[in-house]
Amino acid sequence: MTKKIITRSYGFKLVLFIVICSQFACVKHPQLLYFRNQSEFVPLNNHQINNQIRIKIQPDDALFILVKSLDQETADPFNLFPSTNINNITNSSNPTLTGYLVDQEGNIDFPILGRFNISGFTIDEAKEIIIEKLKPYILTPVVTIRFMNFRFTVLGEVNSPRTISVQGERITILEALGQAGDLTPYSNRENILVIREQGNKREFGYLNIHSPDIFKSPYFYLKQNDIVYVEPIPAVTATVRDPISEILPIISGLLSVTAVIVAFTR
């Protein structure tokens, strides 16, 4: 009799464990992988990178611009902050107060040179424009330009959702996720959303880390002010609901069924 009771007790616990596991929809190992079928990525080995983005200046960008010359005294009047250390400026918490703000028409107001348009140009192209304008005033000018507002935001199922600033001009979606603390076990790796604004248009792109097509996507390389959203898989809904209110009806039902089984087996 005691043996039957123990067997029934273990059986009940096993059923209860299975039901709870299914309720919380345990995440399977393949879902946690970044590049699941690695053989699919082999053809991309040594392939030409054609989707790398050349970041272009656009309205509302904040730029650090520094003019240098062999005779720095002649170059200083063309700087907002003469003889400024670039690291102190680019690390400013408010770039619009220490850099050049590109207005809605794509213009900047430059000391002595006045207002001119640089929207739609890359950093290198903007350098050439400014150097040409400086040549009548400075012998062999050197111009340094940096984005001060190249930042992106990562939201959703990552370990550290936040807004991140980029020092250079190149950041991939994989690097962005890494800087946001990596994906959580409950992230949907097959449907990562990138929201991008260019001019007066808004774009939505989707990335699948399980597919080699991610490396060919125009959203693999991020642009300034992109928003990355990682949606949760359905299993995560079990963790945000009240566990007690979800499990109690199941336990109650199991106890009723167990009571019936015990009654019939006596």
Q: What does the pLDDT average to over 14-20?
A: 48
Contact 117, 107 (CB under 8 A): yes
pLDDT beyond 50 at 5: no
Distance CA 157, CA 226 (A): 17
Distance CA 244, CA 153 (A): 35
Q: 100 forms bridges with which residues in the sheet?
A: 63
pLDDT in tens, 179-223: 999 999 999 999 999 999 877 789 999 999 988 888 889 999 998
Q: What values do phi and psi take at 195, rounded to 5? A: -105, 125
Quickly name the fold that domain 29-53+150-232 has: Outer membrane lipoprotein wza fold like (3.10.560)
Instruction: Return the beta strands (E) in 178-247 as ranges.
Output: 187-198, 201-207, 227-232
**Confidence category of residue 37, pLDDT binned at 50, 70, 90:** low
pLDDT beyond 50 at 59: yes
Residue 118: its pLDDT value, please?
94
Domain with CATH 3.10.560.10 in the chain: 29-53+150-232
Q: What does the pLDDT average to over 5-26?
A: 49
**How is the chain split among helix, strand and coil, in percent rounded to 5?**
40, 25, 35
Q: Which residues of 178-210 are buried (b: 16+ CB within 10 A; e: fewer)?
A: ebbeebbebbbbeebbbbbeeeeeeeebebebb
Residue 250: its pLDDT value, please?
65
Mean pLDDT of the chain: 78
pLDDT beyond 90 at 163: yes
Label residue 141 exposed, middle or buried (CB < 10 Å: 0-12, 13-18, 19+).
Answer: buried
CA atoms 219, 223, 227, 232: torsion sign: positive
CATH 3.30.1950.10 fits 62-147, yes or no: yes
Residue 16: its pLDDT value, please?
47
Domain with CATH 3.30.1950.10 in the chain: 62-147
Q: What is the pTM of this model?
A: 0.66
pLDDT beyond 60 at 27: yes
CB under 8 Å, gap of 24 or more: what pairs does 5-14 form? 8/258, 8/261, 8/262, 8/265, 12/254, 12/258
- What is the distance, to the nearest Å, from the Cα of residue 238 to the centroid of all Cα atoms in its chain? 26
Distance CA 91, CA 33 (A): 36
Q: Which two tokens stand for residue 216?
A: 């060919």
pLDDT beyond 70 at 41: no
Q: State whether residue 197 is helix, strand or coil.
A: strand
